[in-house]
Amino acid sequence: MPKEFFVNGDRLTCDDQETFDRLRDQFKENVLVDERGFESQEAMEKYTATTFLAKARHYLSLAPPDIMQSAEKAWFGAVYAVKELYLTAGNIDIKSHNGLSFFCDFAIDCSSLPFERRRFLRNSCWGNAEKLHQDLYGSSNFRTSEYSELIRNIEAFVTTFSQLDRAHLFKEFHKSFIASTAPNVDVRKASGYVKLGGYSFKRDYAVFV
């Protein structure tokens, strides 16, 4: 499945994951996370992480299962959870794919969750969501029989991220990336609003990793 993305406002298309990863690294501060399909239904339907996962289950339940659509929607659900967390914690707009993974880890590390729970969120949830994303380009990381558990784990990830302490997260974010600097993390003042699943969120910072 081709991937569409934007570099300095120009639309580009990649036919495989390897090419996308190479270009993402080359243009990392300009490659937006708003990939093809994420906002395609905005005019007709508003999405949250929960509705993306409901779609993932729907496509899995078809006969035969539509694994590509199920994987895509499950991935979008995980992406939504991370982006929404930071937008609601401090109007922080994570702009790059690398930033999603980096700040997913940061949120988990800043939480007061037990070690085993943090490892579960990082590996069994987010890590597997990224592998589902790779499956869109033929990686075949998982069998169809594994998808139900994968979606269930991402649902747990979404629920946990919705319950994280946003005030504490922004305090730690400010201390680490605004009051001081960190290698490879570029935080820029921004303004206006961003769309996420058809909903508008205020933006004060744009973040690239």
Report whether 152 contacts 54 (CB < 8 A). Answer: no
- Structural domains present in the chain: 46-208 (1.20.120.330)
Locate 114 and state its tokens: 């037990």
Cis amide bond preceding 64, omega within 30:
yes
DSSP secondary structure string for all residues of 26-59: HTTTT--S--TTSSTTTTT----HHHHHHHHHHH
The string of pLDDT tens digits covering residues 22-81 is 666 665 545 454 444 555 444 457 889 999 999 999 999 999 999 999 999 999 999 999
Torsion sign over Cα 111, 117, 121, 123: positive
Q: What is the pLDDT along the chain (209 residues), one digit of tens a residue?
A: 556 665 545 556 666 666 666 666 665 545 454 444 555 444 457 889 999 999 999 999 999 999 999 999 999 999 999 999 999 999 999 998 899 999 999 999 999 999 999 999 999 999 999 999 988 887 889 999 999 999 999 999 999 999 999 999 999 999 999 998 888 999 999 999 999 988 999 999 999 98
Predicted local confidence at residue 177, as pLDDT: 96
Alpha-carbon distance 119 to 125, whole Å? 9
Of 196, 176, 177, 199, nearest in space to 188 by CA: 177
- Listed in sequence order, the residues at least 6 apart from 136 whose beta carbon sits closer than 8 Å to its beta carbon are 1, 3, 17, 68, 71, 72, 75
Please report where in the chains the tokens 């982006």 appear, as a residue.
83
